[in-house]
Chain A
Amino acid sequence: MSEPVKNTLLFLVVAVLIAIAGFMQSWNTALLILNMGLVSAIMAIGVNLQWGFAGLFNVGVMGFVALGGLAAVLVSMPPDPDAWQAGGVRVLLGLALGAATIIGAVLVYSRVKKGPLRAVGIIAILVGGFFIFRGVLDPGVDAVESVNPALSGYLGGLGLPVILSWPIGGLLAGGVAWLIGKTALGLRSDYLAIATLGIAEIIIAVLKNEDWLSRGVKNVVGIPRPVPYEIDLQNDPDFVSSAANWGLDPVEASTLYVKLAYAGLFLVVLLVILWMAQMALKSPWGRMMRAIRDNEVAAEAMGKDVTRRHLQIFVLGSAVCGLAGAMLTTLDGQLTPGTYQPLRFTFLVWVMVIVGGSGNNFGAVLGGFLIWFLWVEVEPIGVYLMQTITSGMAEGSALKSHLMGSAAHMRLFTMGLVLLLVLRFSPRGLIPEK
């Protein structure tokens, strides 16, 4: 079987799997899997850029995804004028002072000659700056958070169309990745992994605790949509009549229509990103990246600036993850910082890339769809399996209820098993790198 035929077949298998979910469960479920699969595929491309192209071990995907989600809030939610009145300027001033402190310390570090003077200067700047920063910021934060805390209590966003937040989410994640990359990319692979793991946790901690920014664990709900609302469609006589032509009742038709609209938008983004990633892979730049990945020393001897190229691709890959994060939050319609968990948002994306085939963009996309499908469907399959296993047991026995209750945890186990099996028997993934 030739390469393209095999790959087409693999994608067809995933399509059939999703279609089976459509027939067996409901088309709403199937479309939800499709939408999340599209978002997952974009995340997987982002990780594939870093790992597959350049061999960077980034386990902070969750942080960049969350930053994209934050962008969705900051761009699309309406601003809260009372909160701005109460302390908005003060908060911004505090943040600026904080940034100035760090920049000042870095400047002293790079400009002043090494010695006790420099060390004392840096410590003085950092300690003094920290207290000034907190002194300016804290009252502002208190003022903002006390404005109507039950409903708002944060500064709000810019009130722009939510689609804009997708590229901005990418920019935000890319910007933060630049800051991180500047400090952490000189580190060895293991250290970089731990550093990115830590940064992701810090970003989530900020989102959870800085209520003035994102309402923290109180969540931001009702993020505006790029597509119509179901209720408007149901009240639209034209829509209801055309739904009737298809033989669907208006409620179901409207939910399917909304999901299809999202799928269309996401598909466009995925295709654009995939096209760009393919172009990058084939370009001289992509070949250089793979050369660096395969042998850093040789590439450096050929005059390639390894650290700069790493920084470049770290920023690009993280920006793609941020874009996917903004799309995800748009799809959910809410930002819930408490739901960001590394197993789901970092390591699952890694499973997608490895299973799909690291170094191959189509592989990453395939992995995104396939693993997301498994992630969703393992639970009902697990419940079914447990019912079969426990069918012989006495009704109400402790073991039976325990097994039934634990079926939900099958998914982590399955993901690990899939990852290990692929690594062992097909280490280059389903669609290997050419």
Chain B
Amino acid sequence: MDFLNAFVALSNYVLIPGIAYGSQLALGALGVTLIYGILRFSNFAHGDTMAFGAMVTILVTWWMQAQGISFGVLPTALLALPFGILGTMVLLVVTDRVVYRFYRQQKAKPVILVIVSLGVMFIMNGIVRFIIGPDDQNFADGERFIISARDFKAWSGLDEGLALRTSQGITVITAVVVVVALFWFLNKTRTGKSMRAYSDNEDLALLSGINPERVVTYTWLIIAALTTVAGVLYGLDKSFKPFTYFQLLLPIFAAAIVGGLGSPVGAIAGGFVIAFSEVTITYAWKKVLGYLMPEGLEPDGLVQLLSTDYKFAVSFVILLIVLLFKPTGLFKGKSV
């Protein structure tokens, strides 16, 4: 029985990756939920918007690296992030003016808007592959670890090492900052309040003189910031590959739905629920159990409930269970 080593192993392989992945999902799900709340459709182009934002950031990062600009121990991508957000803002606002606005004025059914977003998804996917190609791109630089496994072992004298990658630390800190800023904006500012009013009851909001086009434009601007931050953080933490961003759509949607579509708090909770279930169910528990079980009872196998290739299955099953028992998600979502 060795609780300390077990806890360190658990933190290293489950808690830290789970928190980082959960923060990324939460940022993505916040975007999905905002679009659903205000524009009233499920945006299938969300994953590819993340890829676009990350792509612009990567291009600017490369340019900065070529110019010799760096951010010290932090990755240069953080300096390039505002440019990525700006680029995505332009893209989303133009897309809204050219594509979505027409259907909004027509008062088209939400499912039509979903199909329209499929078209936008194709186009964004095409643009990203056209500009940066379908391959893996590496853009992380700066210090790799905040705490490296070897230093931790030397410092604590434990058998297990604890590694905290810079990207994971940045992910969590950035996510907290972004979420706090978003909630402050939604709850305290005039624009944020009008956005919430519009989301709650469109007609009443119109009656009280809220300009819907302004609300929609602000929404897209916020979405641009959220998607770019989520995309860059995911790219720093794992790697940038356009196709994986498309596949992120499933866990992100699962997170938004589990939390309740349209509910920002729900999106964050959903992100962590999905991330932790994915990590715990696909993690091989042999090491942790080896420390916890009494002598002679240690497991022989890997004690991995499902192979990592089935991680989609995990988000999906969680989604189904929540929907079957709480049809509008954990935090009372809305339905159109």
Residues of chain A whose beta carbon lies under 8 Å from any beta carbon of chain B: 55, 57, 130, 183-184, 187-191, 193-195, 197-199, 201-202, 205, 208-209, 341-343, 347, 350-351, 354, 405-406, 409-417, 419-420, 423-424, 427
A408 CB, min distance to chain B CBs, angstroms: 8
B90 at the interface (CB under 8 A from A): no
- Which B286-323 residues have C-beta < 8 A from chain A? 305, 307, 309-310, 312-313, 315-316, 319-320, 323
How many angstroms between the C-alpha atoms of A189 and B115 in the bound complex?
A: 12
Known contacts A190-B110, A205-B309, A423-B112; is-contact A417 B123 (Cβ 8 Å)? yes
7 residue pairs of the A-B complex, CB under 8 angstroms, read: A202-B310, A202-B313, A341-B243, A347-B121, A413-B122, A417-B122, A419-B122
Contacts of B134 in A (CB 8 A): 409
How many angstroms between the C-alpha atoms of A41 and B327 in the bound complex?
A: 36
How many angstroms between the C-alpha atoms of A405 and B135 in the bound complex?
A: 13
Structural contact, B123 and A416, CB atoms closer than 8 A: yes
Stretch in contact with the other chain, from B64-72, B152-160, B253-261: B253-261
How many angstroms between the C-alpha atoms of A350 and B121 in the bound complex?
A: 13
Structural contact, A184 and B120, CB atoms closer than 8 A: no
- Which B92-136 residues have C-beta < 8 A from chain A? 99, 102, 110-112, 114-116, 118-127, 129-131, 133-134
Q: Chain B residue with minimal CB distance to A353?
A: B115
B8 CB, min distance to chain A CBs, angstroms: 27
> Secondary structure of the A side of the interface?
helix
Q: Chain B residue with minimal CB distance to A423?
A: B116
Structural contact, B122 and A416, CB atoms closer than 8 A: yes
Pick the contact of A412: B114, B122, B320 (CB < 8 A).
Answer: B122
> Secondary structure of the B side of the interface?
helix
B250 at the interface (CB under 8 A from A): yes
B294 CB, min distance to chain A CBs, angstroms: 20
Pick the contact of A190: B42, B123, B125, B310 (CB < 8 A).
Answer: B42
B244 at the interface (CB under 8 A from A): no
Q: Chain B residue with minimal CB distance to A342?
A: B246
Structural contact, B130 and A188, CB atoms closer than 8 A: no
How many angstroms between the C-alpha atoms of A424 and B116 in the bound complex?
A: 9
Contacts of A423 in B (CB 8 A): 112, 115-116, 119
How many angstroms between the C-alpha atoms of A187 and B41 in the bound complex?
A: 15
B324 CB, min distance to chain A CBs, angstroms: 7
How many angstroms between the C-alpha atoms of A423 and B114 in the bound complex?
A: 12
Structural contact, A410 and B123, CB atoms closer than 8 A: no
How many angstroms between the C-alpha atoms of A300 and B134 in the bound complex?
A: 48
- Counted as pairs of residues, one from A and one from B, with CB atoms less than 8 Å apart, the total is 127
B64 CB, min distance to chain A CBs, angstroms: 19
Contacts of A347 in B (CB 8 A): 118, 121-122
How many angstroms between the C-alpha atoms of A209 and B308 in the bound complex?
A: 10
B179 at the interface (CB under 8 A from A): no
B335 at the interface (CB under 8 A from A): yes
Number of interface residues of B (CB under 8 A): 50
Pick the contact of B319: A195, A412, A413, A416 (CB < 8 A).
Answer: A195
How many angstroms between the C-alpha atoms of A341 and B244 in the bound complex?
A: 12
Q: Chain A residue with minimal CB distance to B301?
A: A138
Structural contact, A413 and B118, CB atoms closer than 8 A: no
Contacts of A341 in B (CB 8 A): 243
Residues of chain B whose beta carbon lies under 8 Å from any beta carbon of chain A: 36, 41-42, 99, 102, 110-112, 114-116, 118-127, 129-131, 133-134, 243, 246-247, 249-250, 253-254, 257, 261, 305, 307, 309-310, 312-313, 315-316, 319-320, 323-324, 327, 335-336
How many angstroms between the C-alpha atoms of A190 and B36 in the bound complex?
A: 10
How many angstroms between the C-alpha atoms of A190 and B39 in the bound complex?
A: 14
A109 CB, min distance to chain B CBs, angstroms: 10
How many angstroms between the C-alpha atoms of A415 and B120 in the bound complex?
A: 10
Q: By CB atoms of chain A within 10 A, which of B126, B305, B316 has the most?
A: B126
B46 CB, min distance to chain A CBs, angstroms: 12
A397 CB, min distance to chain B CBs, angstroms: 17
Contacts of B133 in A (CB 8 A): 405-406, 409
Structural contact, B123 and A209, CB atoms closer than 8 A: no
Q: Chain A residue with minimal CB distance to B108?
A: A427
Structural contact, B122 and A190, CB atoms closer than 8 A: no
Pick the contact of B323: A55, A187, A209, A405 (CB < 8 A).
Answer: A187
Structural contact, B254 and A194, CB atoms closer than 8 A: yes
Pick the contact of B316: A188, A199, A343, A405 (CB < 8 A).
Answer: A199
How many angstroms between the C-alpha atoms of A243 and B269 in the bound complex?
A: 69
Structural contact, A194 and B320, CB atoms closer than 8 A: no
How many angstroms between the C-alpha atoms of A341 and B125 in the bound complex?
A: 13
Contacts of A202 in B (CB 8 A): 310, 312-313, 316
Known contacts A205-B313, A416-B126, A420-B120; is-contact A195 B320 (Cβ 8 Å)? yes
How many angstroms between the C-alpha atoms of A343 and B243 in the bound complex?
A: 10
How many angstroms between the C-alpha atoms of A424 and B112 in the bound complex?
A: 11
Q: By CB atoms of chain B within 10 A, which of A193, A198, A347 has the most?
A: A198
Q: Chain A residue with minimal CB distance to B102?
A: A424
Pick the contact of B312: A205, A351, A405, A417 (CB < 8 A).
Answer: A205
A403 CB, min distance to chain B CBs, angstroms: 9
Contacts of A189 in B (CB 8 A): 110-111
Structural contact, B312 and A201, CB atoms closer than 8 A: yes
Contacts of B124 in A (CB 8 A): 416
How many angstroms between the C-alpha atoms of A403 and B3 in the bound complex?
A: 57
Q: Chain A residue with minimal CB distance to B118?
A: A347
Contacts of B309 in A (CB 8 A): 205, 208-209
Structural contact, A198 and B315, CB atoms closer than 8 A: yes
Structural contact, A416 and B121, CB atoms closer than 8 A: yes
How many angstroms between the C-alpha atoms of A202 and B319 in the bound complex?
A: 13
How many angstroms between the C-alpha atoms of A350 and B133 in the bound complex?
A: 25
Structural contact, B126 and A194, CB atoms closer than 8 A: no
Q: Chain A residue with minimal CB distance to B315?
A: A198
* A-B pairs with lowest CB-CB distance, top 9: A416-B122, A413-B126, A416-B123, A198-B316, A412-B126, A419-B119, A409-B129, A420-B119, A201-B312
